[in-house]
Structure 1
Amino acid sequence: MSVHLLSEPLAAAYLTPGRLWSLVAALAGVIGVIAGGFALARLRSGTTRRAAIVALTAGLSGMAGGGFVVAAAEGGPGTGYGIVGGFVALVIGSLAAILGWLALSRARRAV
């Protein structure tokens, strides 16, 4: 009789649903960081407000997706639940939301 662990490590080559969700959330955060950087770089342009809103929305979406993955994970790192990617998505999404908020507040003052 063999003993099976509840959370066995899963190779990183496998794309599980948890890892997929954390990748999607992290990608939303990266899109938000890029949009926030463009919005901060172009403070006098007409697209600043739109880019800031995109950054804020993408950042909040990345944070929500990362939080969902972390909350739903039943195991630690290496188990295939995507908990590490969820934490990465939370950090990147937070950064994107901060950049979007900062660009939006600066765009309002510039008008």
Structure 2
Amino acid sequence: MLETIATAVGLALSIAGTFVAVSRFYASKLKAMIEAQKDAARKEYAAERDFQHLQRNYQQLQTAVDQLAREIDLKIDRLELRFARVETLMRVLSVKVTGETPSKLLDDT
């Protein structure tokens, strides 16, 4: 009878020990899975935030390029106007120096 009780107690301790070991194993696995999901969510959030920053930077860059293009167009228009004025002044001076009529000078172009 003592052997039966010892066997039963040993079996019970063995089952309890196995249950505790398996419970701890799966608890650690579950904890690792939760941590992995948290890390993945954190990385996804960081990637989305970085993408938003890049998108805003691109929009700001595009705005700056558009503004620069407008300024360049304005400067080119002003230069064309100045060149036209210089050309006109040169023709007037040429008329005064050569004595030719303005209509003859205009026909040369």
TM-score, length basis structure 2: 0.35
Larger Rg: 2
More helix as a share of residues: 2
Q: Which has the higher contact order (CA 8 A, sep 6+)?
A: 1
TM-score, length basis structure 1: 0.35
